[in-house]
Every structure is written in structure tokens, then in C-alpha cells.
Chain A
Amino acid sequence: MSSHAVHSITAAKLPRRRKAGGLRGFGGAMPATFLVILFFVVPVLALLLRSVLEPAPGLQNYETLLGSTTYLKVFANTFIVSTLVTICALVIGFPVAWALVIMPSTLTRIVFAILLLSMWTNLLARTYAWMVLLQRTGIINKTLMQLGVIDQPLALVNNLTGVTIGMTYIMLPFVILPLYGVIRTIDRAVLRAAALCGATRWQALTRVLLPLAAPGMAAGGLMVFVMSLGYFVTPALLGGTSNMMLAELIAQLVQSLVDWGLGSAAAFLLLVVTLALYAVQLKIFGTRQMGGR
């Protein structure tokens, strides 16, 4: 059989492909597109509209949010906690990610299993654990008192300390995993060169390893910061009522106070800040670092 004949059979039997048409092969994506547009794009846009239409057209909801000390305190709480969580997660996460790259592979595998287990353990279960661990009569206070470090139980829960501890715990894997990816690609020869040139370990760390890992730190840190800004469950349970963060404020405005205008405006502020920070991340690091839950 000549190659020409084979070609004609191929062309006849394979599903025919239309030549032109900008939507070739789009059909399969229709249900998903429909779902996402109807139940994601439309509701989010409707929410945005409500923020400028209710109770009356105008920007008064945004003025109220940005002009009252009550709401500014919520923004401040959100910003402070997110910053603290990001710093803590980076400081704790860097040595772990570094160790994961160089440790014997059995150990690495165990630590990875623990990281995944922690990430996929129900958020409520983990938060509940911290509520119990951190309470006044909890094991942490008890141990510290028995050791004589403190006389009075520390207030570790129902305040921003509790929120910071609980959220750092939750965010750690989200720093460690991208950071691991970056450190793993660092050429070991560069560090060997530093050693040959007489750098001490400390100099090699601060002048070579840390700068090379910086893109990973920035990407992981930014992701954790953004995720922390919109976190709801952990702040609501560990923070108590007087230390509200933004997500909880949104929920309360909508569910308890039924103030849709103000609630929508707060939600939209959160959305804009989040998207802006993701845009920064995309611009600086490209798409490869994206991910997470």
C-alpha cells in the first residue's frame, strides 16, 4: 500500500476536523463554562452592584466602611494578623523547606506525608484542637505553670495571639511547599563555590542561599498573606467577638445584620485587594508558582 493510500484511509476514518471556526473543540467546556458564569461570575457581579445600589445608589457604603473607626479596626486586625502570620510562616517554613531538600529521602518522605496530612485534615478539627490546647485550663497553660514559667494562665485564645498561632499552623504547608520547589532548583555548585572562596556558613546562608531562595519566599509569603486576608473559620473561632477580621465582618453584616449594601462593599474590597495581590504575583513570578487550596 502506498503512503498515499494510507493517508486517505487516515483522513477518512479519523473524526473530521473542520478547518476554520474560532470555537473548534469548545463543546466539552460548555457545561463548566455555563456553571462558572451562571453561579460564579453573575453572583459576584450582582454582589458588586448591590454594594453601590443599596440602600441608595452611590458610594456611601464604601465611605462608611473606610470612614468609621469600628470598621478601620477590623481592617487593621486583618492586616496585622495576616502580616504576622506571613512572617511567622516564612521564618519557620524556610529552615523546614531547606531541610527537606537536603535531608535523607526517607525523612523527607515522612515530613511530606505529615505536611499533606495536616493540609487535608479538616479545618474545623484543627481549629477545635487549638481552641482546646490554648484555653486557660488547656495543656499549654498548664505545662507552662507547672514548669514555673508563668503564675497566671496566659490569655492565648479569644484574642489575636490565638488567631496568629492557629493561622500560622494552617498556613505553614503553603509556605513550605513552594519554597521547597525553589530551593530544590538551586545549583549546589554555587554554594560550593561560596565555600571555596572562603565564605563562612553564615555568609553563605545570608549572601547566597537566602537571596537565591528569595523568589520562593516572596511567592509563598504573598500567597499566605492573601489567603490570610480572607480567612473566616479560624479567626472567627479563635479570635472571639471583639477581635473581628474582615471575612467574619462580611459574614456578620450579611447574616446577622442583613445589611447587604455594606456587606457587599466589604466583600468587594476583599475581592479587589486579593485580585490585585494575585496580579502582582503573576506579574512578578509568572504562573508557575500559583496553586494552593
Chain B
Amino acid sequence: MLLDFHRLGWWRWVLLAIVIAVSAFLLLPIIFIATLSFGSSQWLIFPPPSWTTRWYGELFADPRWLAAAFNSLKIGLIVTVLSVLIGLAASFSLVRGKFRGRETLKALFLTPMILPVVVLAVALYAFFLRLGINGTVTGFVIAHLLVALPFSILALTNALEGFDKSVEDAAVLCGAHPLEAKLRVTLPAIAPGLFSAAIFSFLTSWDEVVLAIFMASPTLQTLPVRIWSTLRQDLTPVIASASTVLVAVTIILMLLVALVRKGMKS
């Protein structure tokens, strides 16, 4: 009865109302930001008295915002490549290796994802100060790689577990070099997994705030760091436009993932 929508009676309208309210609660802030970024009011009056692209103009005219966006992109791309390569090698090993303690090793790889990121940030900050790589792209990449790698490993071990290894073996039997078989048989077969690993690695780096705050220097900031430091001063609508750009990139990439998954199914 309670798990049958049509036999819930008037309760189902209550449930439906809650779902709609919560959906609105989840969507509202995102729509709100996008609306404000096109609103003319400096004081973020809602609904906006009139519409303008002035804040985007200011955003794209400011070399500091542009530099931050460029840094985000650069760091994100390096992290993506490394995360997929290291994650792929690790996943092959985790799925096909015969050594003991594979489960423990996988848990170790995933730990940076579940620990409070502030602890990792402080630990790395201290470590990088010693090594002298604080405030460098290298520092950023290492920090983001640690939290991106779990996503990559999850996606790729999952894909590899779903792939029938005998297909690869067949290619080897037909004369392919084992490496060639991996490259031309296995990798295309797990392409959706590779794609998810890449996108989620990129997004993890692109959206990451806490590690970035600790890794940043006045001359090297990512987009979230720039938003963070601006937010601490005032709530200018330029932040709304920067946030909208940030979110738009995320949505486009998420849609791509969804499309690829759908394409693979059909």
C-alpha cells in the first residue's frame, strides 16, 4: 500500500507536494544565481529591475578573472590526463592482479575522497611549504590529483569488471601483441568508463575549493579561489556571472556524460 503510488490515497498528494517543494529548494539557488548574473541591480535586487550583460563584460574584461579561469582550465586538464592514466594502470592491477591485499589497496586509493578535505589541505600545505612547491601548478595538480583519482579508479575498475577478458585473450591468440590487444580491444570496449573517469576528474579539479585555497598564491589562483576571495569582500554580481560560467561548464560536461551513456546503451 505505502509502496504503491496509486493506492496511497490522499497521501500521494502530500508526497508529491514535498517532492516538488524539495526540487524547488534544490533548483532555486541555481536559477537565482543565473538570473542575478543578468540582472542590472548592483545590490542584487530580485527580481531584477532590468536586464544587462554588464557583469559578464566586467568579468571577461578583468585580466585577473581571465587568468584564474585559464589556470582552472590548465590544472583541470593536466589532472584529467594524469588521473586517467594513473587510474587506468591502477585499475588494471586492481581488477586483474593476483596479489594479496587488493581490497585494502583500493580502499587506500579511495580514502582521500572520504576524509575531511580540510585535513588533507592542511597536511599538503605543510608538506608543500617544506618542498617549496606551494603556490605552483605542480602543487595544485598533486593536490587535485589525490581527490580526482578515486573517481577515476571507481569508474575504471567498474568498467574493467564489466569487460570480458576472454575477448582480449582471443585477440592475443589471433596474433596480437598483448599491449596491442589492450589498446585496440580492451580500451575501446571500456571507452564510456574512460570518458566518465576523464570528465569526473576534470570536474573534481574544476570545482575544488578547499585544497585550492591552501595551494593558491597571490599570483596563482583558480576560478573558485578567485570567487572565494572576492566573496569575502562583497557580494558583487560579477561573482554571480563567474559562478554561472562555472556551473554552465559543469552542466555541459554532465550532459555529455549522460549522452555518451545513453548512446552506449542504444
Contact = CB atoms under 8 A, between A and B. Distances in A.
Contacts of A293: 113
Contact of B114 (A22, A110, A290): A290
Interface residues of B, number: 92
Interface in B220-266: 224, 227-228, 231-232, 235, 239-240, 243-244, 246-247, 250-251, 254
A274 interface: yes
Nearest to A139: B46
B61 interface: no
A147 interface: no
B240 A292 contact: no
Contacts of B25: 169, 172
B81 interface: no
B173 A13 contact: yes
Contact of A232 (B89, B117, B178): B117
B153 A247 contact: no
B190 interface: no
Interface stretch (B50-58, B63-71, B202-210): B202-210
B140 interface: no
B173 A39 contact: no
Interface in A232-252: 232-233, 237, 247, 250-251
B30 A103 contact: no
A25 B149 contact: no
Contact of B153 (A32, A43, A100, A186): A32
B109 A169 contact: no
B265 to A, nearest CB: 14
Interface stretch (A56-64, A66-74, A125-133): A125-133
Given A92-B22, A126-B29, A204 B172 contact: no
Interface string B196-218: 00000001000101100110000
A14 B126 CA distance: 48
B90 A32 contact: yes
B116 A229 contact: yes
Interface in A93-135: 95-96, 98-104, 107, 110-111, 114-118, 120-126, 128-133, 135
A195 B16 contact: no
Interface residues of A, number: 103
Given A36-B112, A128-B33, A96 B119 contact: no
A40 B109 CA distance: 10
Contacts, number: 283
Contacts of B4: 102, 188, 191-192
A147 to B, nearest CB: 16
Interface string B99-121: 11000010011011111111111
Contacts of B22: 92, 96, 172
B8 interface: yes
A205 B99 contact: no
Given A13-B173, A35-B145, A22 B100 contact: yes
A230 B87 CA distance: 27
Name the residue in A129, A201, A263 with the highest tally of chain B Cβ atoms < 10 Å from its Cβ: A129
B189 to A, nearest CB: 18
A128 B2 contact: no
A132 B235 contact: yes
Given A28-B97, A99-B19, A237-B231, A133 B209 contact: no
Contacts of A29: 89-90, 93-94, 97, 105
6 contacts: A40-B146, A102-B15, A111-B23, A120-B250, A128-B33, A169-B25
Given A39-B146, A251-B118, 17 more contacts: A15-B172, A21-B99, A22-B99, A25-B97, A32-B87, A33-B105, A35-B149, A36-B111, A36-B112, A99-B15, A99-B18, A120-B207, A139-B46, A237-B232, A247-B118, A264-B126, A267-B122
Shortest Cβ-Cβ A-B pairs, 3 listed = A230-B116, A25-B97, A129-B29
Interface of B: 1-5, 8-9, 11, 14-16, 18-19, 22-23, 25-30, 32-33, 36, 43-44, 46, 86-87, 89-94, 96-100, 105, 108-109, 111-127, 142-143, 145-146, 149, 153, 169, 172-173, 175, 178, 203, 207, 209-210, 213-214, 224, 227-228, 231-232, 235, 239-240, 243-244, 246-247, 250-251, 254
Interface of A: 9-10, 13-15, 21-33, 35-36, 39-44, 46-47, 50, 92, 95-96, 98-104, 107, 110-111, 114-118, 120-126, 128-133, 135, 137, 139, 169, 172-173, 183, 186, 188, 191-192, 194-195, 201, 204-205, 208-209, 227, 229-233, 237, 247, 250-251, 254-255, 260, 263-264, 267-268, 270-271, 274-275, 278, 290, 292-293
